[in-house]
Structures are given as structure tokens and as C-alpha cells.
Amino acid sequence: SHCGSRGRLQFARAPGPAAFPHPLPACGHTDRSNGAPQPSPMEEGAYHELRQTLLDFMRREVYPNEERFRRESHRIGATSNEWTHAPVLVELKEKAKARGLWNLWFARDLAAVAGLGPGYEGRGLSNVQYASLCEIMGTSNHMEFAAEAMNCASPDTGNMETLARFGTAEQKEQWLKPLLDGGIRSCFAMTEPGVASSDATNISAVIARDEAAAEYVINGRKWWITGAGSLHCQICIFMGRTIPAGVEAGRHGTASIVLVPMDTPGITLVRPMQVLGDEEAPKGHFEMLFEDVRVPFSNVLAGEGRGFEIAQARLGPGRIHHCMRLLGTAERALSAMCRRVEGRTAFGKKLAEFDTILADIARSRAEIDQARLLVQRAATRIDAEGSRSARKELSMVKFVVPSMVQTVADRAMQAHGAMGLSQDTMLATALTWARWLRYADGPDEVHLRTVGRLELKEQQSTHLHALAPYEPAAGVVFRRSTDPISPAARARL
């Protein structure tokens, strides 16, 4: 086909294996799957001081401003299609920078890979240490309110890691630095309405080559693109098909990822998708239409045909970061439930005296602690071996933690009665976020399948796998039907 006078369009073709002799590095808070030495975590005293600073920031700045953040966010979404940060969020961003709470996710080894120089050296936090800080951030009434104030929220952290690991020096200068500085925001366009996006190889959006113009031409429809609705979102990391359907390129070599500035002609924000009735302004999750969107060849990330690898690498840390914050959400919900039942009376006694309520509290406490141990195990393994080695643990936390938070939030809502459904608590938001995160970065079913397959494979190498079921010894007989019954036994019949 032709597009105006700019030359014949062609599908981009993935280079052969020789063009990329080494696999792409996995993307994560830290990654040592290539055998690189493990950097030491932050010294315990410094970490304790940082944690106390974060707790103080939450008490002084975040919790007192939660209702203001909710009101301002809803007002922006209800009165305009030009969404910008809530004013209180802008204020808190500056305060977080001043308190040394900015970019806590940006590890030193990742900063070294990014190579941005002075001012971008990263923080010396291990994944285990960062998990504890994420949990504290997640206790805000909106799971990412505090995280956004500290530039630690999705999808920007995943996008920044992607640029740091796979971007060229020019791409990092143009996009990564402004993202790290908090001057702009970003989105990641992968999910599509017309295909099962749980299988990333289904991607149908097209990235074609216009050789004469040295440009990619992008056509496709995406949806549930988080953050795209904000005017602060300046760059879209777009995944599309670069090999025509039916052309042999290897199942995972058909897609590429390109950088698309949000002011490029041909991009339409169709509508904000509602999450259980909430548009999540002023960030949102958008349906987007790309019609003959043109970007130069230099906007490709890591070369053509590497899209699936980059996407898989990018989604790993996002899964664990969400789950880290969700632990804080669950703690907030449990605390709200306990406060409610201790101060509410029904049928002549406090709700806290009813066995069903006590059972809900006990189960919630146990389930939160179980989930936390699983998250810590995943974080520990990433620190020790890299995100590739923690693939099973990452999938486990992804289907365990959101479901746990759903359950805990539902119990807390039940204890609050109709109030639990309203804007007067954070419980409806907690339930909504937990339910949404059972889809984000892969649905439960995909992660269950991953864990099941990996477990079957790993079991084959365990010492227990060789233990066969017991078999009865040869010749052993309890009793035959033809054996005579003794007089004593017959007397008892």
C-alpha cells in the first residue's frame, strides 16, 4: 500500500540472530542474572533513617492531604478533558524532593547502566529494602498517591527502567532524564481490544517501514493505556507487529517497540476506560487510536524484532512493585476494620466481640503476613540471582497478593456496613485497585499457568520426585472371599 507521496510502506523485518549475539538484559530494580557481582544494600543505619523519613512524610504530608487529593482529582476529571496533576500532588512532589524521597526505586546498578552522569547516581536500596518502603507508600488512601509524589509510580518506573536498559544515549537524554526529574510522564501501549493481550504475541497493531522517508508508520488501536490521559504524558512506548501475519520470524520475533512522542500527528485519545465506574482521573487508563503515526527509524528500542523480550523484561519489576504497595493497602484496610469494630455496637455489644468478626480479623492478619513473606522471598531472589531466576516467585506474588487484598478489603467493607461502599473510607478504592491489578501486567490465569509449568519442571530434579507410590508386597493377602468365617466372628454378625 501507499501513503501519500512518501513512498511504499513495508513491514519492518526482524534482524537475524547474528545481529543480536547476546540476549537483552532482564529489566528489574536490580538484575544480576548475567553473573555480575551483587551490590551491597544500603547500610542499615542509613536505611533506618530513610525509612523514618518516609514514615514522617506520610504522617505530615500524605495522610492529611488524602481527601484533598481525592477531591481535586475528581474535579479535574469532571470539568475538563485537559487532565493535569492535582495541585496537592505538585506540592508534595517538591516536598518529597526536599526530603530526599525522590526516585527511591532507581537503584545504583540501574543508574550505572543508564550512564546519565552526575545527579543521576541512583539509590543504594536492595529490592528487599525497597519492598518495605513500597509497603509504606501503599498505605495512602489511593494506592499510588504517595508513590506518585515520590516519582515511584507506574507506569513511569517501568518505562524509565526500559529506557535506562535499552535506550540509546540520545533517547535517554531526550526522555529518561525528564522522566527522572519529574518534568514529564509516560505511558506504555501494549494491550489491544481486538485480541487476547494475555498472549503478547497476539499484538495486531502494525509498525511498517517507509524506506524513502526513513520512518516507521504506525496503525492500530490500544486500550487500558495507563497515564495516557494526562497532559504531562509526553512519550508513549508503543509495541506493535513488525512482521506480517503468516511470515516466519519465530513466534517471539514479530514485534518491536518504538518511542512515540504524544504530540505526533495521528494519535487520538478515544476515551478513558472506567475501572468499576471510575475514570481514575487525572491519570486514567485510555483507549487510543494510532492512524498513520510517523516516527523516525531512530525511535526503535534495541532494534527491530525485540519487542516481546523488552516487554517481558519490563513487566517483571512492575508486578512486584504493585504487590509491594498492595501489602500497605491491605494493612490500611485491616486497620480500618479493627477501628470500626472496636467503636461500633450492635445487639448490645461491640462488633469486636462477635466471633465472626474476630475470625475475619484473624484470617486477614494471617493472609497479609503470608503474602508479605512471599513478596520478600521474590525480592530476595531478585537481589541474589536476578529477575530471570525469580520468574516463578514474581508470578506467584502477582496472583496471590491482589486476591488477598480483595478479600481483606471486602471483609473490612462488610464490617463498615454501607459506609464501606462510600467515599468516606479508602475501602472501595482498595477493592477496585486490587481487582484491576488481577489483570494488569498479566491476568491471574497466565501466572498460574507459568507457576504450574515451572513447578512441574523443577519437581523432576528434586530428590522427592524419585519416590514412587508404595506397592503391596507380593503374596500378601488380608482375606479371601472363600475363607471360612470363624464361629466367634459369625456369632457377632
User: pTM for the whole thing?
Assistant: 0.87
Give strand ranges (E) for 262-339: 267-272, 285-296
- C-alpha separations of 166 from 108, 134, 257, 383, 384 in Å: 17, 25, 10, 21, 22
Which CATH number does the domain 310-458 belong to among 1.20.140.10, 1.10.3720.10, 1.10.760.10, 3.30.365.10?
A: 1.20.140.10
User: What number of helices (H) and strands (E) belong to the chain?
Assistant: 15, 10
Q: What share of the chain is helix, strand, coil (3-state, %, to 5)?
A: 50, 15, 35
How far apart are alpha carbons 77 and 81 in whole angstroms?
7
Question: pLDDT 10s digit of each residue in the chain, 493 long?
Answer: 334 434 444 444 433 333 333 344 444 444 443 334 354 689 999 999 999 999 999 999 999 999 999 999 999 999 989 999 999 999 999 999 999 999 999 999 999 999 999 999 999 999 999 999 999 999 999 888 999 999 999 999 999 999 999 999 999 999 999 999 999 999 999 999 999 877 877 899 999 999 999 999 999 999 999 999 999 999 999 999 997 555 555 566 789 999 999 999 999 999 999 999 999 999 999 999 999 999 999 999 999 999 988 988 887 777 899 999 999 999 999 999 999 999 999 999 999 999 999 999 999 999 999 999 999 999 999 999 988 899 999 999 999 999 999 999 999 999 999 999 999 999 999 999 999 999 988 899 999 999 999 999 999 999 999 898 888 888 889 999 999 999 999 999 9
What is the DSSP code string of 158-196?
HHHHHHHHH--HHHIIIIIHHHHHTS-EEEEE---SSS-
Exposed / middle / buried, residue 292 (Cβ in 10 Å: 0-12, 13-18, 19+): middle
